Chain A
């Protein structure tokens, strides 16, 4: 299968993340999956006129594009002209190239939240008129339109994340190459369910602090980041704490809040990222699927039951009280 990868209004971080793939280097993984890399801006030899010949062949339908990966937001400005990103050597807007290529592609993938929904460049006044391939924030549409389907019949596959975990990209490509990714394998926002059916909360190393509502108050504290420091791990769709990042990590393991970067509109949460919005002392954003009254009742109960160990460690940067040593066998 031929894979063509282009970058537009993003930071290149999705590719950088991909290069950290743990199972095997991504070039080897592509080969194993039967994927031929037609062109990638960071990896391939052809440049300038050589690359343009190749792109033109793809856009004109002469070279089949089985998998089209687009990284970065679509920059429609200024005033809808697309001139905020013209493809070098062509003078034409990237948005025009992407539309031509997407019309030919068997599968179209948005790599990262920018390409999926607009992402970070769409924050604030959205100076570049950024949007995603098939979404403008949470609204279907985007550059290609709500009704777009690639030649396979699938909508744009949104491998959202800022950046996406390398495994999300590799697994999605491998599933496509094996003919194993169907429309029902995508969630309501077009994300592959192979990672989006989990919550960031699942497997979080701070779970004991969460259980007892023993909360961190400042950066470097060990406690749960939800109550004070803006963490959205109980609502964010991704398997970040089940599938480690860079071998060992995740945002919450790294000492900071999940900002729900796989979600449309995460760039404008309506509150400072590292401060939890509350009403009457209770966080507004409660865990997904949990009735509010139960959450409030359980939180009050668990707070009153918090062991001294968990309470004191929650606001320290290392264990100040270690677990009691006791025999666990039945007497």
Chain B
């Protein structure tokens, strides 16, 4: 039986999933990103600095991440390095977006599925419905104001969110004054309080220090009533750790550059840790509605030419590969590569899966907010926030950052003072990649194989958990 699932909502942007179902499980899946705008073509011929206006508008939920990748590529082309204040301010702005996205995913996109009628018979159903039901649940009414107050950080450091121009190649165009720094610290403290009271029912440090799957279980028993514990209880009841396993190969470009290196290291994990070799990244267009002489290219020389009639195509999305391999990216991948003991232990038991992806996101809230507090305290009003330099007329550069959803890369080529080529690989381009020329399915396509479909289910609920566990951003995917 073939099932077309769409419009797939509570993801950012448009998504359609086609499933071949046999004997109550998904045998094969095809993932379609059904919208094409053509940012890479729009950017062609533009003044290189104008990219700072265009790229955040690829995506309203990863807007700062797009700006950061662009600024990093331009900085490399200019040969400029941000002063310490600029680096800290840019990290604060990116971290605010990434953490707000994790919160949005948990409360608005992911949890409402457990309030579906399909779960009426479960012991946790009534409480979950009151708390997490879409639109009317009590959790959204608490999480949205907390998120709004947290994003006031953007009002201070970025002018507004989404779509700022304060992120500059040389750091930040928004210097923080002494009284503003004090208010920033207070704002972060308030967000910490909310997370500790409502989401965790424990200190951030206590959550960050969990090292083993067994410790997480014990913690859940000891902290009933927090939203994190509610999720863990549901996850255990529904065996979400056995759902949605993909390739167990993970990529991270490294998150939050600091003077001494990234806060979370860059690399690739495939059972062991490898250094990140950006030269090993390629994109394959064999199953996309795209035309080109080369089926596989490094993004330096990538081409984006739409061809709605390409017979092999079933999506607008290219297929990124690392050394020819399918990769998963996101918070789980980031913490796997960095080596957080809890995430390494969870993956050692059950591989990458629905439960682990959600745990990794919430864990990052506990890990990064204390870092943001440190960064805000380390700001030195009165000292420079931005360095300056001239863009050469010829340049080739890349910007690799970690968005909430994982590895985001921009590849820029400047010729005669204009953009000659601009190529983007977004996190969900990796995760929701189509097949490549060898017929190898992408990460979600692999994760969906084996997912149960109950008799008569028009919109299989387990499929929804698997898809949403990746927190896809479809507007970034094709751009």
Contacts and interface: CB of A to CB of B under 8 A. Distances in A.
Contacts of A44: 9-10, 134-135
A16 B59 CA distance: 10
B135 A43 contact: yes
A50 B58 CA distance: 29
A198 B157 CA distance: 24
B144 A48 contact: no
Contact of A47 (B9, B136, B171): B9
B159 interface: yes
A121 B58 CA distance: 9
B57 A13 contact: yes
A299 interface: no
Interface residues of B, number: 89
Interface string B5-28: 111111011111000000000000
Nearest to B178: A318
Nearest to A19: B144
Given A12-B13, A14-B60, A85-B34, A123 B42 contact: yes
Given A47-B7, A254-B174, A78 B308 contact: yes
Most buried by B among A12, A46, A121, A127: A12
B141 A28 contact: yes
A64 interface: no
Nearest to A91: B4
A87 B13 CA distance: 11
Interface string A8-49: 111111111101111011111000000001010111111111
Most buried by A among B46, B173, B306: B173
Given A254-B158, A256-B165, A17 B60 contact: yes
A208 interface: no
Given A17-B60, A89-B7, A128-B37, A27 B144 contact: yes
B54 A123 contact: yes
Interface in B132-186: 133-136, 140-141, 144-145, 147-149, 151-166, 168, 170-175, 177
A44 to B, nearest CB: 6
Interface string B297-334: 00000000010100000000000000000000000000
Contact of A37 (B10, B135, B154, B162): B135
B156 A249 contact: yes
Interface stretch (A184-192, A239-247, A281-289, A301-309): A239-247
A254 B165 contact: yes
Interface stretch (B266-274, B384-392, B405-413, B435-443): B384-392
B226 interface: no
A14 B159 CA distance: 16
B450 interface: no
Interface in A103-162: 120-121, 123-128, 130, 162
Contact of B162 (A13, A43, A220): A13
A317 B166 CA distance: 13
Contacts of A162: 57, 163
Contacts, number: 274
B160 A250 contact: yes
A248 interface: yes
A219 B34 contact: no
Nearest to A43: B135
Interface string A80-109: 010111111110000000000000000000
Contacts of A254: 157-160, 164-166, 173-174
A248 B163 contact: no
Contact of A120 (B57, B115, B151, B154): B57
A42 B157 CA distance: 27
Contacts of B145: 24-25
A46 B6 CA distance: 11
Contact of A247 (B136, B152, B172): B152
A11 B62 CA distance: 9
A52 interface: yes
Contact of B59 (A11, A43, A222): A11
A253 interface: yes
B35 interface: yes
A22 B36 CA distance: 33
B10 A121 contact: no
Given A220-B175, A249-B158, A48 B135 contact: no
B382 to A, nearest CB: 5
B428 interface: no
A274 interface: yes
A7 interface: yes
Contact of A273 (B44, B50, B148, B159): B50
Contacts of B163: 13, 162-163, 261
A246 B155 CA distance: 5
B148 A22 contact: yes
A75 B35 contact: yes
Contacts of B5: 47-49, 89
Contact of A17 (B4, B58, B116, B162): B162
Contacts of B252: none
B155 A244 contact: yes
Interface stretch (B104-112, B209-217, B394-402): B104-112
A125 B475 CA distance: 19
A43 B111 CA distance: 11
Contacts of B43: 124
A13 B63 contact: yes
A248 B166 CA distance: 14
Contact of A48 (B7, B32, B38, B177): B7
A120 B59 CA distance: 11
A16 to B, nearest CB: 4
Interface of A: 7-17, 19-22, 24-28, 37, 39, 41-52, 73, 75, 78, 81, 83-90, 120-121, 123-128, 130, 162-163, 218-220, 222, 244-257, 259, 261, 272-274, 317-318
Given A24-B145, A246-B158, 14 more contacts: A26-B144, A41-B9, A42-B108, A88-B15, A89-B6, A220-B171, A220-B384, A247-B155, A249-B159, A254-B157, A254-B165, A256-B164, A259-B165, A273-B52
16 contacts: A11-B60, A16-B162, A20-B147, A20-B148, A43-B134, A46-B9, A49-B459, A78-B306, A88-B16, A220-B175, A245-B160, A249-B154, A272-B49, A273-B52, A317-B175, A317-B384
What 9 pairs across the A-B complex have the smallest Cβ distances? Answer: A254-B159, A13-B60, A88-B6, A127-B38, A248-B155, A246-B155, A89-B6, A249-B155, A88-B16
